Amino acid sequence: MLQSMRDNSQGIIAKILVGLIIVVFALWGVDSLVGLATAEPPPAEVNGKAVEKGELFRAVELQRRQVLSQMGDKADPALLDDVLLRKVVLENLIDRTLQVADAEEKGLFVSDQLLDQIIVTTKDFQRDGRFDRDQFELALRSAGFTPLSYRELLRSETMVNQVRGAYSESSFMTDAELDRLLALNTQTRDLRVITLAADQKVDIADSDVQALYESRKGSLATDEQVIVQYVALTRDQFVDTASVTDAEINSAYSQFTSTFDAKEERLASHILFEVNDQQDAATAKAKAEELLAKINAGADFAEMAKANSQDMLSASSGGELGYLTKGLFEGPFDDALFSLQVGQVSAPVETEFGIHLIKLNDLRKAEVPSKAEMLEELRQQVAEQNAEQLYVTSMERLADLAFSSGDLFALADELGLKIETSAPFSRAGGEGDFAEQKVIRAAFADMVLKEKLNSDPIEVNSGRTLVMHLKELIPARTLALDEVKENLVAELKQQRAAEQAMTLAQQTVEKAKAGEKLNWTTYSAVVRGAQNGLEPAVIDAAFALARPEGDSRFYATVATADGGAVVVTVDAVGQSADAIQPELRSQIARMLATAEGSAAFQARFNQLKSKAEIKIN
């Protein structure tokens, strides 16, 4: 049916339909076509409360940036598993939604004043030890927040932390419990150890390899894979060929210089009197006029702001708002600020936030560079704009040809694109573009896999669009023994060597118990967590052994990471000579109580989650 429609796509109705699809595609991208059919449900619902799509998108992007930042300068976004990242972030949002609802049911509340205090004391929002509004707004923008959305997130997290803190504050540890734990923690042990290396010359019979192969056959299979031919249309390919006229450069320069009137920056301070249930507009205005009289009489504006302003974000810095451009605060505030002379204080100004006194501290204007200085930048800017238009026009034609053509040849020929061939990839993804979920879904869709048609255009990222056509389907198959024999033999050798080492370790224990003289290595006053050249598992086993009784000893055998084994015994148990100072003792007590409180909080939350109605869409 699809091919029939493609064959008849030159008809009037088909042209109209294709035209509509092309317009939507060009204006909003391929993904927008999906949204025309149905309104998507929220990603999740928790006891009837929706986890909104925008909230999830912002949280995923924030998590992505944090992960890439931790990966360093050589971070490759393609290495991130978008599906896994979304799953983890969504689970966290579900948990937070439950925790916030629980806190609200307990009647907890976070005031605006407390939020202001948290914000102004957050170091990431400070410059030179003081709150800086520009720094605050920059940090929020880079994390994808507006001031309002950040305050709501901060409010919810603070409420949850209040509940968590209540559990921690109510948890305690008795002196006897603390003494016992500290004694265990500062305990030392004198050890004797015998290390037994794995035998690297283990012989493996072919029959054993065959048996392991037969037992693993179900998991020794390749995934179904495809090899696709594809063309890539990119915006960048039009930049070098896009024509740029002098008129366009002149227009771009005029547009650039026209923005400089708006780029005047004014360093402003203000004093705010809020209008709310406790204070009406008339009262607030009267207070503002009274304070204005004091300022006009010589009182310092910054000191008056610190003492009187109800804007907690700026009051601590003398009411400073930083350098502002026209239009940042619309309406009366903007009008008043841009009518002032440097050093002048406005009459009371009423806005939706309350009554303001505004002072202009300084103003600065950027110098307008000449057209000659900007020529190359303007030429590049115009070329990119023209390339964008060419790219959009070509995308329209790409969508049309992809739909109406049975292969990529006519499409590539008309648009001057190179047909490339992918490496084989499965539904788990491949390299580069073929690691993208939208590309993988399209490659394995019925229209490509079964109908052997061109894929729809896929916007991999802004400025890059693919169309694919199936070249080869590689069915899933069970790997032959010869293909996996080397790995199976290595696995069996490691397994047998480890088994032999543990058998030898058990025999060594029997010899030790019988009183035979063995070649031990001694370690004195070993403490928990120390290395001393020993694997952590060996130290853990040593501290799990019972104390020695007279001449009798207890023994443990431990498999080591390299396939060998260790025999360990304890000769003496002591205490560290380092006394624990009272301050450290108190710190440890608080830490243990906090851990106990966190465990109680988590147990309560697990119970809450088990009873919740959670729907993931």
pLDDT at 206 > cutoff 70:
yes
- Rounded to an integer, what distance in angstroms lies between the CA atom of residue 613 and that of residue 569? 53
Instruction: Tell me the mean pLDDT in the region 196-212.
Output: 89
User: pLDDT tens digit string along 145-200?
Assistant: 778 888 888 998 898 888 888 887 777 777 787 777 777 777 889 999 999 988 87
Q: What percent of the chain has pLDDT over 70?
A: 89
Mean pLDDT of the chain: 84
pLDDT for 579: 60
pLDDT of residue 40: 67
CB 300 within 8 A of CB 319: no
Query: Which DSSP symbol is given to 279?
Result: B
CB 257 within 8 A of CB 368: yes
pLDDT digits (tens, 9 = 90+) for 237-296: 888 888 888 888 888 888 887 766 556 788 999 999 998 888 999 999 999 999 999 999
Mean pLDDT of 554-558: 96
Mean pLDDT of 3-27: 43
- 3-state SS class at 594: helix
DSSP structure string for 436-458? SHHHHHHHTSHHHHTS-PPPPPE
- 524-554 pLDDT, tens per residue? 988 887 767 889 999 999 999 999 988 889 9
Binning pLDDT at 50, 70 and 90, where does residue 458 land? Answer: very high
Above 50 in pLDDT, residue 131?
yes
Q: Tell me: pLDDT of 35 over 70.
A: no
**Burial of residue 41 (number of CB atoms within 10 Å: 0-12, 13-18, 19+):** exposed
In tens, the pLDDT along 365-417 reads 767 788 888 888 888 888 888 888 888 888 999 999 999 999 999 999 999 99
- Residue 250 Cα to chain centre, angstroms: 43
Classify residue 327 by its DSSP letter. T
Work out the pLDDT band at 25, boundaries 50, 70, 90. Answer: very low
Query: Would you say residue 453 has pLDDT above 90?
Result: yes
